[in-house]
Amino acid sequence: MEKLLSLMTVAPAMATDDYVGFTFFVGCMAMMAASAFFFLSMNSFDNKWRTSILVSGLITFIAAVHYWYMRDYWATNAESPTFFRYVDWVLTVPLMCVEFYLILKAAGATKGLMWKMIFASVIMLVTGYFGEAVYTTGAGPAVWGALSGAAYFYILYEVWAGGAAKLAAAAGGAVQQAHQTLVKFVFIGWAIYPIGYMAGTEGWYSGIFGGLPMDVIYNIGDAINKIGFGLVVYNLAVASKTA
Ligand SMILES: *C/C=C(C)/C=C/C=C(C)/C=C/C1=C(C)CCCC1(C)C
């Protein structure tokens, strides 16, 4: 009981100039609000779309829980919550791959395609974690970051020009449009993360991105990508309702 109560106590007051802490706080609120929105709207759609909207809500909800902890971790330690960050990503990014599968399922997407993307996303994140938290000296971050980048480009290729793109083209209409918007999120929105990584680790790139606040960059990326992804899927469900 005491443990539970201590979880519910108010976090230490935030300094008014702690803008990193502020983005954790706002990020947490935004993820909570988005989750409520997706969960509450879910039942107004056809069965066909409910799982997709549910997954949108799960992505933002899992992030909200992690942001709750990360906000607290930052307030207490004034350090990047790298471990929580990657636990969040390793749960939510595979779910984003599931979203691609779900909207393309009617067009014939296979589980094989889904697992291929999930596998690549886990490789991207595990190698990124190695560079950010384990092999942090010498060429470590640059090498692991490059490996992570290769997995990222594989995912981008798969959705842009590979199997997933072909299925989307075959589906046409609102599904193809939604797919193309999600591809833009992967291309532009996900590219925010390597910038945060280069800002927060040491390497040949430190002169370019050094000094930028890594956590602010990651927090902006998360808000854009997690909520944005969910809204694209929501819009698709709305479009198919009126069509
Ligand atoms: C909701 C969280 C999302 C969409 C997180 C996405 C994370 C990435 C696309 C991270 C990519 C990275 C690279 C491409 C290279 C450097 C290491 C990473 C892990 C930051």
Of 41, 84, 117, nearest to 222 (Cα)? 84
Beta strands in 43-179 (DSSP E): none
Nearest-5° Cα angle at 198, 189 to 84: 70
The string of pLDDT tens digits covering residues 121-167 is 999 999 999 999 999 999 999 999 999 999 999 999 999 999 999 99
Of residues 1 and 102, more confidence is placed in: 102
pLDDT score recorded for residue 119: 98
Report pLDDT for 243.
59
Which residue minimizes the CA distance to atom 10 of ligand 1? 193
Atom index in ligand 1 nearest the CA of residue 131 equals 17
CA distance 28 to 71: 8
Query: Over the stretch 29-73, which tens digit does the pLDDT of each residue have?
Result: 999 999 999 999 999 998 889 999 999 999 999 999 999 999 999
Query: Rounded to whole angstroms, how far apart are CA atoms 118 and 103?
Result: 15
Residue 242 has pLDDT above 80, yes or no: no
Contact 80, 215 (CB under 8 A): yes
Confidence of residue 8 (pLDDT cuts 50, 70, 90): low
Mean pLDDT of 197-220: 95
First to last CA, the chain: 52
Q: Residue 40: its pLDDT value, please? A: 97
pLDDT at residue 15 in the model? 77
**Its pTM surpasses 0.85:** yes
Report angle CA 163, 120, 188 to the nearest 5 degrees. 75
Q: How far is CA 128 from CA 73, 89, 90, 208, in A?
A: 21, 11, 11, 19
Q: Which of 190, 198, 212, 218 for a ligand 1 pocket mutation test, highest count of atoms within 8 Å of Cβ?
A: 190
Please give the residue that has the higher pLDDT: either 236 or 11.
236
Q: Report the C-alpha gap between 36 and 13 in whole angstroms.
A: 26
Q: Token digits for 216?
A: 């602010």
pLDDT of 16: 78
SS3 191: coil
User: Domains in the chain, start-ordered, CATH in brackets?
Assistant: 16-242 (1.20.1070.10)
102 contacts 111 by C-beta, under 8 angstroms: no
DSSP state, residue 208: H
Question: Which is it for the CA torsion 53, 56, 62, 64, positive or negative?
Answer: negative
Pocket of ligand 1 (CB under 6 A): 89, 92-93, 124-125, 128, 145, 148-149, 152, 190, 193-194, 197, 222, 225-226
Name the residue at shortest CA distance from atom 18 of ligand 1: 128
